[in-house]
């Protein structure tokens, strides 16, 4: 019986070029983003400029984490304590956490079997809010044309959580550029790796200026390279509180060489994704999540559904795969574990039950696809999952 010996949490090494850049920053002693020599731009400012160019955005801000980027974006667009903010029922804890951190109230929108936000449920709830924090959870993009038409028609501002979609597109438009603000993560398991970190993009000058002031720029905003003109800051600089959450030059130095490799990395993830997807397709009792033609995804993880399975049988699949070296995560467990959780896990955000979404959430099985796996590894993983799902489904 085949077993897999790889490690699902082992990422690729940081590239040599990035290590050299980090060492240079450490040797300079100028780790703080505003501690730069006369006439020089720090690594954080250069990263912002380069990321804005890569995303086709006017403005970019580098911050301490993806979660900080989300909360900063919410404040920058004017969300206040007590406001209701729509977000996905299928997401991870930092998303409703960001909403709660600004004193607002998360209102959850259902999920479909394609693992995207339910646009019919969204339409029914749009009159309850002025902001949607849209989570492209696990890299699944909904019909962004329809979503933006619904939100624009209702006067609802969209902030995109692109923690899992950096480099992905909908009809050729980069994820994070449809909404007013796009927020990204550079946490270790994301598409760029600095341990922790975040990036925020927007074309709105006032939103960008507020975010920069909130991040802790003091009056040093002119040391940025991807921000509005100084006169925009004159309107907001005395009205915007400092909630320090800057990215430092060390992490920015690590990220800049990785950013240049992003398109190739996305293709490498997708090659692995396709091998696993094809290996699972047609497995009795297992539903593959079909990707729309309009979407260019980044397959750094893969999900499948065990719809209407009992909890005991799903647990058996997870244990049997684990015994053969394949690490699966289940979003349907009674208690959140590791990086899994559901809308009913967050007791600070009470919500009404959503039976259709509950059925989907209970069925979601999730697996990372680190680039330390090769294509043969991925084929082996798919064979193991296929065999164990089939065995449990058939009662063996």
Of the residues 260, 276, 296, which one is the last residue of a structural domain? 260
* pLDDT value of position 206: 98
**Is the distance from CB of 201 to CB of 51 less than 8 angstroms?**
yes
* Residues 73 and 169 grouped into a single domain: yes
What gap in Å lies between CA 295 and CA 291, rounded to an integer?
7
Same domain, 192 and 270: no
Predicted pLDDT at 343: 87
Q: Is residue 11 part of a domain?
A: no
| CA 369/CA 394 separation, integer angstroms | 27
Residue 123 maps to a domain: yes
Residues 389 and 268 in one domain: yes
- % the chain with pLDDT above 90: 92
Residues 171 and 295 occupy one common structural domain: no
- pLDDT-based confidence at residue 337 (cuts at 50, 70, 90): confident
> Do 364 and 227 share a structural domain?
no
- Which CATH number fits the domain that encloses residue 339? 3.90.1150.10
Cα–Cα distance between 126 and 132 in angstroms, integer?
Answer: 9
Q: State whether 255 and 288 are in the same domain.
A: no
Cα gap 143→204, rounded to integer Å: 23
Same-domain pairing of 235 and 374: no
Sheet bearing 84-88, strands edge to edge: 59-63, 198-202, 181-185, 157-161, 131-135, 84-88, 105-109
For a pLDDT cut of 70, what percent of the chain falls above it? 99
In a domain, 1, yes or no: no
Does a structural domain hold residue 4?
no
In this prediction, residue 174 has a pLDDT band, given cuts at 50, 70 and 90, of very high
129/77 Cα distance (integer angstroms): 13
Q: How far apart are CA 300 and CA 266, in angstroms?
A: 8
Give the tens place of pLDDT for each residue, 288-312: 999 999 999 999 999 999 999 999 9
Least confident of 107-116, 128-137, 228-237, 341-350: 341-350
- Dihedrals phi, psi of 325, to nearest 5 degrees: 90, 10
Alpha carbons 103 and 114: distance in angstroms, whole number: 31
Residue at a domain's end among 260, 291, 319: 260
Inter-residue contact 383 to 3 (CB < 8 Å): no
Residues 185, 44 share a domain: yes
According to DSSP, residue 91 is labeled S
Read off the pLDDT of each residue in 211-231 and give the average, rounded to a whole number.
Answer: 97
Which tops the pLDDT comparison, 350 or 261? 261
Whether residue 328 is predicted with pLDDT greater than 80 in this model: the reply is yes
The full DSSP string for 96-122 is HHHHHHTT-EEEEE-B-TTSSB-HHHH
Give the Cα separation of 102 and 84 in Å (integer). Answer: 11
Q: Based on the domain organization, do 247 and 269 belong to the same domain?
A: no
The CATH number assigned to the domain holding 234 equals 3.40.640.10
Is residue 10 assigned to a domain? no
**Which pLDDT does position 352 carry in this prediction?**
87
Report the domain count for the chain.
2
pLDDT at 334 over 80: no
With beta carbons less than 8 A apart as the criterion, state whether 132 and 85 touch: yes
In angstroms, rounded to a whole number, what is the distance separating the alpha carbons of residues 374 and 269? Answer: 10
Residue 8 lies in a domain: no
178 DSSP assignment? S
283 and 241: one domain? no
Closest Cα to residue 114, out of 147, 137, 84? 137
Q: Is position 321 within any domain? A: yes
In a domain, 2, yes or no: no
User: For 246, which DSSP code?
Assistant: B
What is the C-alpha to C-alpha distance for residues 66 and 47, in angstroms, rounded to an integer?
15
Co-location of 215 and 298 in the same domain:
no
Do 340 and 357 sit in the same domain of this protein?
Answer: yes
The last residue of one of the domains, among 219, 237, 260, is: 260
What range does the domain containing 320 cover?
262-393
Mean pLDDT of 321-339: 87
Residue 101 predicted with pLDDT over 90: yes
The CA-atom distances, in angstroms, between 369 and each of 166, 212, 228 are 16, 34, 38
Is residue 38 over pLDDT 90? no
């Amino acid at each position: 019986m085949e077993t897999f010996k790889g490690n699902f949490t082992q990422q690729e090494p940081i590239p040599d070029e990035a290590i050299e850049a980090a060492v240079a920053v450490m040797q300079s002693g100028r780790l703080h983003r505003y501690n730069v020599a006369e006439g020089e731009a720090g690594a954080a400012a250069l990263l912002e400029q380069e990321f804005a160019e890569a995303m086709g955005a006017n403005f970019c801000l580098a911050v301490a984490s993806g979660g900080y980027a989300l909360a900063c974006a919410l404040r920058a667009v004017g969300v206040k304590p007590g406001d209701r903010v729509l977000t996905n029922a299928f997401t991870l804890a930092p998303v409703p956490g960001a909403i709660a951190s600004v004193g607002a109230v998360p209102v959850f929108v259902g999920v479909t079997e394609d693992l995207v936000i339910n646009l019919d449920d969204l339409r029914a709830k749009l009159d309850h809010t002025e902001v949607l924090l849209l989570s492209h959870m696990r890299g699944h993009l909904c019909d962004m044309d329809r979503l933006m038409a619904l939100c624009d028609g209702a006067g609802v501002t969209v902030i995109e959580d692109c923690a899992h979609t950096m480099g992905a597109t909908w009809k050729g438009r980069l994820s994070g550029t449809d909404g007013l603000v796009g927020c990204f993560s550079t946490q270790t398991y994301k598409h760029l790796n600095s341990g922790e970190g975040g990036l925020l993009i927007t074309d709105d000058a006032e939103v960008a200026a507020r975010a920069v002031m909130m991040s802790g720029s003091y009056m040093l905003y002119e040391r940025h390279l991807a921000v509005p003109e100084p006169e925009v800051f004159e309107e907001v600089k005395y009205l915007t509180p400092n909630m320090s959450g800057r990215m430092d030059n060390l992490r920015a130095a690590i990220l800049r060489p990785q950013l240049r490799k992003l398109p190739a990395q996305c293709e490498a993830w997708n090659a692995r994704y396709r091998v696993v997807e094809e290996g699972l397709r047609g497995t009795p009792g297992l539903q593959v999540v079909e990707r729309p033609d309009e979407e260019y995804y980044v397959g750094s993880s893969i999900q499948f559904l065990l719809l209407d399975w009992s909890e005991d049988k799903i647990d058996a699949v997870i244990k049997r795969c684990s015994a053969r070296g394949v690490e699966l995560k289940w979003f349907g467990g009674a208690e959140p574990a590791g990086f899994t959780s559901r809308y009913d896990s967050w007791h600070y955000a009470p919500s009404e039950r959503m039976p259709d979404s509950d059925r989907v959430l209970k069925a979601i099985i999730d697996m990372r696809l680190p680039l330390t796996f090769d294509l043969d590894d991925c084929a082996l993983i798919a064979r193991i999952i296929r065999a164990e799902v089939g065995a449990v489904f058939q009662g063996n």
